[in-house]
Amino acid sequence: MKKELSNGRMFGLCLGEFARAVLGGLIVTYTLKFFNVTPSSGLPLLLPAGMMGLLRGVGVIFDAITDPWVASISDRSASPRGRRLPFMRWAAVPYAITCLLIFFPPKGDVSWVNVAWVIAMLLAYYMSSTLYCVPYMALQQEIVTDTRRRVFFYTLNSLMFVLGSAVIYALPVMVGGFKGAGLAPVWAWRWALAIFAVIGAACALIPSFLINERDYVVGKSCYMPLLQSLRTTLAYKNFAVMTVGYLIMQAGFAFFNGALLFYIDTLLGLNESFATIVLAISIVVGICTYPLVNALVRRFGKKPLLLAACAAYVAIYLGIYFHAPISQAISTAPLGPGFLASLAGEGAMVGDVAAAILIGVCVAFPIACTNILPPSAFADMAQYDRIKTGEDRAGMFVAARQFVTKLSQAGVTAIVSYTMYLGSADSYPTHDGVRMTALIAAVCLVFAVIVYAFYNDKEVVSFIDDWNDKQRAAEKA
């Protein structure tokens, strides 16, 4: 067996996840804000109306298609420096630069030259992202071989991703500071985006140079052709079960995440900004439950906890669907004056505010479970397959899951938007349409529970643990 990764190096390796959250967050959160402008923003209109959403959809499809190709190249690599780190080192800086250049189209007003620039930079960004992220995620699967320590590793990973996702919400504050210093709005945004791109590049580079891959990973080049490798991976029963369950679960999350703002303002009648409070509660409480998740996995295993988390989601989503009687049961009194009332908005009811806070509190533990357990289970299966077959295809295990889920999410996003506008006569989301997203999300999670029930976690984990014990015994002999 190779060296065991220290906790310090494990933390450093997880900085790549922070980079992934920051750079990906700039695209997901701020491209629409930057290019779909409002009069109050002060930003120039650089693309035809609605074009950015279409371009991002093309980018996501391109991203999904390139994942298996990059995975196959990485799995086959025979570099003396390892099969993963060379890709990460070369891709880290382009990953950040292309992310930033999306926001620098050459023309100052609406132009098809800008459309060509943005799509070219988006495709370059997604290519760089794939070249970095697929080998990086494959390395994560390979570098920790102990099943219990792997859960801890993915806990750190999730923590870094959550922190990175939270940090980017400070960007508008930075934009406001630059505007106050006299910069034009477009350049205030660009300078703020540039600072975050530099942070992302630095955090992507650190894991690339932190370790010598060959000291920690027993990696053997896999010469299986791309399509054969993809088919073989998807044909593995446990992997297929987890992938289908993960796909359905992510579809449910897409309905919930896409409609969260509307649950707060359309259903509960609170200020849209109160959704930030709900998100903050879910993040803080979720992080606090990470040690509990690790303790429960050691006691019960991953599968029971994953099933329980999905069942909890079903209850939460149904609670949103039946929000009215729940809010009324809590209280029908108006919220008194104070800080909370200023956040919730004029006329807010105690029951509605309590229901919103309950969403944040109740969803925290299931989020912690579903952030940590599926990636850890996928890594278990990659190791199980490597021991069983002698073929080291960790990259393809990453790519097959990414390929399926990205293509499905591209379609689900459009369905979410359509659902919220059911019965609309004025181009605004309707109360019934927003409620329906919660019901659909609950149905998705019910099916996810059914599919996950067929995953044989004990077989995979016990096999790996027995193999690790034999390896340690052989080293001592």
Identify the pLDDT of residue 321.
92
pLDDT above 70 (res 80): yes
Query: Would you say residue 17 has pLDDT above 80?
Result: yes
CB 461 within 8 A of CB 147: yes
Mean pLDDT of 377-381: 89
Span 357-365, mean pLDDT?
A: 92
Q: Which residue has the higher pLDDT, 294 or 57?
A: 294
Residue 405 has pLDDT above 60, yes or no: yes
The number of residues making up the chain comes to 477
Query: Which are the contacts of 392, defined by CB distance < 8 A and separation ≥ 6?
Result: 75, 142, 219, 220, 221, 222, 386
Backbone φ, ψ for residue 44 (5° rounding): -75, 150
% of the chain at pLDDT higher than 90: 35
State the pLDDT confidence band at 227, using cuts at 50, 70 and 90.
low
Q: How is residue 265 written in tokens? A: 């303002």
Does residue 365 have a pLDDT over 90? Answer: yes
pLDDT at 427: 60
Query: What distance in Å separates the CA atoms of residue 346 and residue 343, rounded to the nearest whole number?
Result: 9
On the question of pLDDT at 234 being above 80, the answer is: no
Other residues' Cβ atoms within 10 Å of the Cβ of residue 74: 29
What's the pLDDT band for 413 if we cut at 50, 70, 90? Answer: low
Is pLDDT of 58 > 80?
A: yes
pLDDT at 409: 67
Q: How many angstroms separate the CA atoms of 296 and 305, rounded?
A: 7
Mean pLDDT of the residues in the chain: 85
What digits encode the pLDDT tens for the residues 306-330?
999 999 999 999 999 998 899 889 9
For residue 215, what pLDDT is reported?
78
Q: Which residue has the higher pLDDT, 395 or 447?
A: 447
For the segment 240-274, what is each residue's pLDDT rounded down to a tens digit? 898 889 988 988 887 787 677 778 888 888 876 78
Round to whole Å and give the CA distance between 226 and 321.
44
